[in-house]
Amino acid sequence: MENENCKQTGAPVDENKVRVKVLLFARARELVGGSEVDLDVKEGATTADCVAELTNRFGALEVMRDSIVVALNFDYVTEPVKVKDGDELAIIPPISVNKSQTLGSREKCIGSKLKL
Amino acid sequence: MEGQTVEKMKAEADVLEIVDTKIDMAKYVDAVRDPGAGAISTFIGTTRNTFQNKEVVELQYEAYKPMAILELKKICASARSRWSLVGIAIAHRLGTVPTSEESVFIAVSSVHRKESLDACQFLIDELKARVPIWKKEVYSNGEVWKENVEFVQRTQVCKEEFYQIYDAESKLRNWQFSI
């Protein structure tokens, strides 16, 4: 097969890569500064690889990386799944647990300094 | 077979909407009204004006709409598998919701009241656990994204490390925890 660059809009340039549309919401959207990102990853990459790549590109996401919930094509992902070209990956921000119910005296209730 | 078709038809008639304007509650009550139903149970989620002695100026809601609708359908299917129900209608409002206004409305009808009462509670609990809708509380001196206890319990992804406080470029980032 010829290794030609595909110049069509929206298609990955490298045929060994797949393009995933990443949607970001709430705090994740604010940290990245945008609600939609096109991510090119290697064929065979998983949802976990996508999150890693996203965090590489947007260091601000690191703060929520361990607690990101991910949905692939509208289904929650609980373990890494291989992504395909054209998949839609949603970064669903972590949830603030009611710490009074879990960590007792260790809980901290401090106002957020988030800015738009 | 015929029973399954009737159930499928009822499910397909469920009204599940994500709206940008004030919720028309009467519309959703009417959507589940049925000559065969002896009861309609409703839940209204309204926006509170205080959190930890801070005044909440407004609440803002954001959703992953297509997935939210799909999750609502799954929740309704789950409710129907548990109880015999006639109609279900759920509406969630997005954008800015002033305090005391309705952000979420659920109406469920059934032949006898027990089923609709139980299903109504189930539906709001499941909605909080699964549906990708986020709420931001805006105070006079800041704002924070609030989310649901039930969500993290259900997805079991959140890790304790998320709650660490750290310094970044001379700023202290803190998390607000919901009660």
Taking an 8 Å cut-off on Cβ atoms, the answer to whether B62 and A26 are in contact is: yes
B interface test, pick of A97, A102, A108 with most B CB neighbours within 10 Å: A97
Q: ipTM of the assembly?
A: 0.75
Cβ neighbours around A89 below 10 Å, total: 23
Q: Rounded to a whole number, what is the distance in Å from the CA of B81 to chain A's nearest CA?
A: 20
Q: Rounded to a whole number, what is the distance in Å from the CA of B118 to chain A's nearest CA?
A: 25
Q: What is the pLDDT of residue B4?
A: 74
pLDDT per position as a tens digit, B14-26: 999 999 999 999 9
The residues near B44 (Cβ < 8 Å, ≥ 6 apart) are B25, B102, B104, B105
Q: How far apart, in whole angstroms, are the C-alpha atoms of residue B175 and residue A94?
A: 11
Q: What is the pLDDT of residue B150?
A: 66
Among the residues of A33-108, which ranges form H helices? 47-57, 99-102
Total-model pTM = 0.77
**Best CA proximity match to A88, nearest among A39, A49, A54:** A39
Residue type at position A93: P
Q: Tell me: domain A14-110, CATH 3.10.20.30, correct? A: yes
Give backbone dihedrals phi and psi of B63, rounded to 5 degrees, phi first.
-140, 155
Averaged pLDDT score across all residues of chain A: 75
Cβ neighbours around B22 below 10 Å, total: 11
Q: Rounded to a whole number, what is the distance in Å from the CA of B79 to chain A's nearest CA?
A: 19
Taking an 8 Å cut-off on Cβ atoms, the answer to whether A78 and B151 are in contact is: no
- Averaged pLDDT in 10-residue chunks for chain A of 116 residues: 48 77 94 94 94 93 85 93 96 55 28 26
Q: Which residues 37-76 in chain B show a CB within 8 A of chain A?
A: 52, 54, 62, 64, 66-67, 70
pLDDT per position as a tens digit, B119-173: 999 999 999 888 999 988 888 888 888 766 666 555 543 333 323 333 332 233 3
CB < 8 Å to B167, chain A: none
Q: How far apart, in whole angstroms, are the C-alpha atoms of residue B163 and residue B152?
A: 13
